[in-house]
Amino acid sequence: MNKRPLLFAVDNLTYHYLPDKLVLESVTLDVYQGESLAILGANGSGKSTLLKLLSGLIFPIQGQITAFGHELTENALQDPVFLQPFRQKVGFVFQNSDAQLFSATVWDELAFAPLQSGLSPEETTYRVEDVAKLLGIEHLLERPPYRLSGGEKKKVALACVLSVNPEVLFLDEPTNGLDPRTQFWLVEFLMALKQAGKTIITATHDLSIVEDIAERAIVVNENHTLAADGPVLQILSDRKLLLDVNLIHERSHFHVGASRQHG
Ligand SMILES: Nc1ncnc2c1ncn2[C@@H]1O[C@H](COP(=O)(O)OP(=O)(O)OP(=O)(O)O)[C@@H](O)[C@H]1O
Ligand SMILES: [Mg+2]
């Protein structure tokens, strides 16, 4: 029995964008506070869709999602009493950074969420400077986000989310497009957040980072149902499962323990 508070309960969830094409079917899943969970699956299996459902950007067609003890519905999220704290507790770093960067400068981008959450201009300035330092992006503060490189945008997107210090982080393919040093840095950073007790849910098919950033993994198969849910090392050791769900190729040499050593 898990003694940590239950943050998300997904019960028999089904979702489709187009009526005749399910993208998630009968998904049941619990996420407890402080867990680090990887959502694994091939392209198009439904990982990003599951993150969007958990963060209340879209809503189940069938089944239900409970978040922090409340059912996550369109109606519930129209109630400011639920919406405001929910948006502060949950941060989402999108697969495509361009989908979340829209301000004239990086500074404005980082200040947006703190100001929205009601912080004073002085507190906001402090937060912006603090989070920019944390991510090593002080030199980018005056730049327009759309002119940054992919990796720089990813850091800014992450900084935006961290600027309101959310309890839960949803990360969609966070290492995509990052060079090895930045990737290594990000994995270390996520390990530190995990140590600090954040709940981190990461969708990825980059198996090389999974054992560093997650203790538990779920696997979505190409039929859009859950193929597995368990300790990350157990899942990464199951070569037949990884082959079946198209996470490795039969000629792939992936094996557990292949991740880099982190200090
Ligand atoms: N807005 C949309 N309208 C219609 N279909 C969509 C939409 N968004 C996603 N899909 C489809 O839903 C399915 C699941 O997409 P999703 O983005 O969740 O997959 P994913 O597992 O995150 O894939 P990837 O590894 O490529 O990021 C795909 O077939 C995709 O084409
Ligand atoms: Mg995706």
Mean pLDDT split into 10-residue runs, the chain, 263 residues = 87 95 97 97 97 96 96 92 89 92 96 90 95 93 95 92 92 88 88 93 92 96 97 95 93 70 51
> Which pLDDT score is estimated for 156?
94
> Which pLDDT score is estimated for 15?
98
Rounded to an integer, what is the distance from CA 77 to the centroid of its chain? Answer: 20
**75 CB less than 6 Å from ligand 1?**
no
Question: Pseudo-torsion of CA 131, 207, 5, 130, nearest 10°?
Answer: 0
**17 CB less than 6 Å from ligand 1?**
yes
**49 CB less than 6 Å from ligand 1?**
yes
Ligand nearest to the CA of 47: 1
**In sequence order, what are the residues at sequence separation of 6 or more whose Cβ sits closer than 8 angstroms to the Cβ of residue 206?**
173, 175, 176
> Which pLDDT score is estimated for 1?
57
> Which pLDDT score is estimated for 259?
57
Query: Which residue among 40, 43, 48 has the greatest number of ligand 1 atoms within 8 angstroms of its CB, and so is best to mutate?
Result: 48
Contact between 24 and 14 under an 8 Å Cβ cutoff? The reply is yes
Question: How many angstroms does the Cα of residue 156 sit away from the middle of ligand 2?
Answer: 19
Question: Pseudo-torsion of CA 23, 235, 174, 186, nearest 10°?
Answer: 170
Domain ranges of the chain: 34-59+80-244
Render the burial of 100-111: b for 16+ CB within 10 Å, e for the rest: bbebeebbbbbb
Q: What is the pTM of this model?
A: 0.94
Question: How many angstroms does the Cα of residue 220 sit away from the middle of ligand 1?
Answer: 13
Query: Which residue among 17, 39, 43 has the greatest number of ligand 1 atoms within 8 angstroms of its CB, and so is best to mutate?
Result: 17
The domain defined by 34-59+80-244 folds into Rossmann fold (3.40.50)
> Which pLDDT score is estimated for 263?
47
